[in-house]
Structure 1
Amino acid sequence: SDDKALKRHLLRKYSGYLGGLRKELSKKRKKGKLPKEARQKLLTWWELHYRWPNPSEMEKIALAESTGLEQKQINNWFINQRKRHWKPTEEMEFAVMEAYHHQSTDAAAAFYVDVDARLVGATAAAPASAVYTARPDH
Structure 2
Amino acid sequence: MRNKDYDQTSICFGAKHSADEGGASSEEDLSGGEIDGQEAQPRSEDRDLKDRLLRRFGSHISTLKLEFSKKKKKGKLPREARQTLLDWWSVHYKWPYPTEADKIALAETTGLDQKQINNWFINQRKRHWKPSESMQFAVMDNLSGQFFTEE
TM-score (norm 1): 0.63
Coordinate RMSD, CA, aligned? 2.1
The structural deviation recorded for 1:105 is 2.3
What does the per-residue CA deviation read over 1:68-90, in whole Å, with 9 as the maximum and x for residues that have no partner? 11111111110111111111112
What is the one-letter code of the residue matched to 2:117?
I
- Aligned partner of 2:60 in structure 1 is 16
Task: Note if 1:36 corresponds to 2:42.
Answer: no
The structural deviation recorded for 1:106 is 4.4
What is the one-letter code of the residue matched to 2:67?
K
Cα 1:103–1:30 change in 2 (3 A) is: farther
Which range moves more in the overlay, 73-82 or 30-39? 30-39
The structural deviation recorded for 1:13 is 4.9
- Aligned partner of 1:135 in structure 2 is none
Q: Secondary structure at the match of 1:21?
A: helix
Task: Note if 1:104 corresponds to 2:147.
Answer: yes
What is the one-letter code of the residue matched to 2:66?
R
What does the per-residue CA deviation read over 1:38-66, in whole Å, with 9 as the maximum and x for residues that have no partner? 10000000001011000001111111121
Identity %: 59
The structural deviation recorded for 1:12 is 7.9
- Aligned partner of 1:93 in structure 2 is 136
**Structure 2: distance between partners of 1:84 and 1:47:** 14
TM-score (norm 2): 0.58
Gaps of 5+ in 1: 1-9, 110-138
What does 1:1-138 align with in structure 2 at a 5 Å threshold? 13-27=57-71, 29-106=72-149, 109=151
Gaps of 5+ in 2: 1-53
What is the one-letter code of the residue matched to 1:84?
R
The structural deviation recorded for 1:11 is 9.1
